[in-house]
Chain A
Amino acid sequence: MSIFYENREIVTPGDLLAEGEFEAGRNAYKIDSKIYACKLGLVEYKGKTVHVVALNTFYVPSVGDTVIGKIIEINLHGWTVDIDSPYLATLRPTETFNKSYNPQKNELSEFLNIGDLIQAKIIAYDRTRNPLLTIKEPGLGKITRGQIIKVSPAKIPRIIGRKGSMINMLKRETRCNIIVGQNGLIHIYGRNPEDERIAVLAIKKIELEAHTSGLTDRIAEMIRKERRGMV
């Protein structure tokens, strides 16, 4: 029973993290009784489980996640949506709000056309099938205003913060509505472009400094400084 790093130390793929009666958590794997890292990240020892919080990763779909995607194709089964992950997602006509859809009368492009951005939720996904989306819940659907920025999906937990502390602070300080897609796309819309500009700046800073401590306070300070600069 021994561990080889301190909590939150940076590790690389192949680093031996622990030996003995441990379990491999996120981004770690086990051979015999040895736990190794499989990504670049910060190691976290939580009781008997060893995690690696990845510093860079791509989005792997997971049922229940809210994502932001772009319609790239329309076919017989519905819309094909790029959700910035290894797999393309499908949105079926039955999963949209519009009940009056009749395949013989209506064109799918009347509701959502190629290039439209949507906020959607993943309702089904496994190894053998591409993810299925729904927009049949309040808050989901076509995005018509504001702007979208992309960050690494690895930084999403940091942007939300513990129990939403970071995102709530961001919303309050920037006076913008911010919707975070688990796939790394973030939708921002505020009352004026200046608010949005500050929100984008703050999110970019969080992305860059995600692995450092005391971030929430530093971001709040930065936003206040930016505001003073603009008056």
Chain B
Amino acid sequence: MKEKIRLVDDSGIRTDGRKPDELRPIKLEAGVLSNADGSAYIEQGKNKILAAVYGPREVHPRHLALPDRALLRCRYHMAPFSVQERKSPAPSRREIELSKVIRESLEPAIFLERFPRTAIDLFIEVLQADGGTRVAGITAASLALADAGIPMKDMVAACAAGKADGHILLDLNDLEDKEGEADVPVAYMPSINRVGLLQMDGQLTPEEFEKAFNLAIEGCKRIYALQKEALKAKYLAIKEAVEEAGQK
């Protein structure tokens, strides 16, 4: 029998040195691309993801336009160099599915009904993948939407929790995701207390599921605070620079 990898050691520390309820280090930045209407960049551990938003704009092809609300189109894509073994750049079954779940997790956050007959195009490009790219993608995408000035009910923060080596862990990395027992990605809107995405891959008892879900929500709240900070950062920097210049 294949020997199992130890993912959590005796003192409860994970392979990358984190505690069970600790997030990976996150770097978030809004407005990184000048050609898109809104954009964001996230680094979560070894994940590196860019998100870009266009619109609302005219729908092409025309017949896709909805008479009563805007159409949200989403493309989640992994760059060929984002993983160890080269990935074909053509959209895979997995990427098409993730595009759909990401779109559905963001739709309830946007006031789509205010812009009938238009399209909002969202592109999520994974530059480097290390587990939990769908949730990091949602986090970046919602920041990009806010950066584009699209009216939203709330920003969507997303985070995964799961089970590895019998422990419930927050924000699984690639190794824990592949070797572990279960993965629960959650997208959550903290201010209005709504869940936009909830998936489960693997096996958990109802008690374990509840624990993992609550842990993921906790992670989302921490990420949400970082999103708000990132969105304000650009404007606060200008404000401070101007005030400083005024005092001289």
Contacts and interface: CB of A to CB of B under 8 A. Distances in A.
A14 B190 contact: yes
Interface in B205-248: 227-228, 231-232, 235-236, 238-239, 242-243, 246
Contact of A212 (B38, B56, B238): B238
A80 to B, nearest CB: 10
A56 B148 contact: yes
A127 interface: yes
Contact of B57 (A60, A86, A209, A212): A86
B152 A14 contact: yes
B189 interface: yes
Interface in A3-37: 10, 12-16, 27, 29, 31, 36
B73 to A, nearest CB: 14
A58 B38 CA distance: 11
Contact of B116 (A38, A54, A127, A154): A127
B149 interface: yes
B159 interface: no
Nearest to B142: A13
Contacts of B116: 127-128
A214 interface: yes
A57 B115 CA distance: 13
B151 interface: yes
A70 interface: no
Taking chain B's interface residues, is the majority helix, strand, or loop, or is none over half, making it mixed?
Answer: mixed
Interface size on A, as a range, is: 20 to 34
A54 B154 contact: no
Contact of B37 (A12, A14, A54, A58): A58
If over half of A's interface residues share one DSSP class (helix, strand or loop), that class is named, otherwise mixed; here it is: loop
A13 B155 contact: yes
Interface string B89-130: 000000000000000000000010001111000000000000
A156 to B, nearest CB: 13
A154 B231 CA distance: 16
B107 to A, nearest CB: 15
B243 A13 contact: no
B149 A154 contact: yes
Contact of A208 (B148, B154, B238): B238
A15 B154 CA distance: 8
Nearest to A13: B152
A223 interface: no
A40 B231 contact: yes
A56 B56 CA distance: 14
B183 interface: no
Nearest to A57: B149
A61 to B, nearest CB: 11
A15 B235 contact: no
A134 to B, nearest CB: 22
A159 B83 CA distance: 48
B135 to A, nearest CB: 18
Given A13-B155, A38-B111, A40-B231, A58 B243 contact: no
Contacts of B232: 10, 12, 40
Contacts of B189: 14
A14 B192 contact: yes
Contacts of A218: 242, 246
A151 interface: no
Contacts of A101: none
B56 A12 contact: no
B58 interface: yes
Interface in A74-128: 86-88, 127-128
Contacts of B192: 14, 31, 36
Interface in B6-41: 37-38
A86 B191 contact: no
Nearest to B118: A86
Contacts of B115: 60, 86
> Nearest 3 A-B pairs (CB), nearest first?
A14-B154, A14-B191, A86-B56
Interface of A: 10, 12-16, 27, 29, 31, 36, 38-40, 54-58, 60, 86-88, 127-128, 152, 154, 208-209, 211-212, 214, 218
Given A13-B153, A55-B235, A152-B149, 19 more contacts: A10-B232, A12-B155, A13-B146, A14-B155, A14-B191, A29-B153, A36-B154, A38-B153, A39-B146, A40-B146, A40-B232, A54-B149, A56-B148, A58-B149, A86-B56, A86-B58, A127-B116, A208-B238, A212-B242
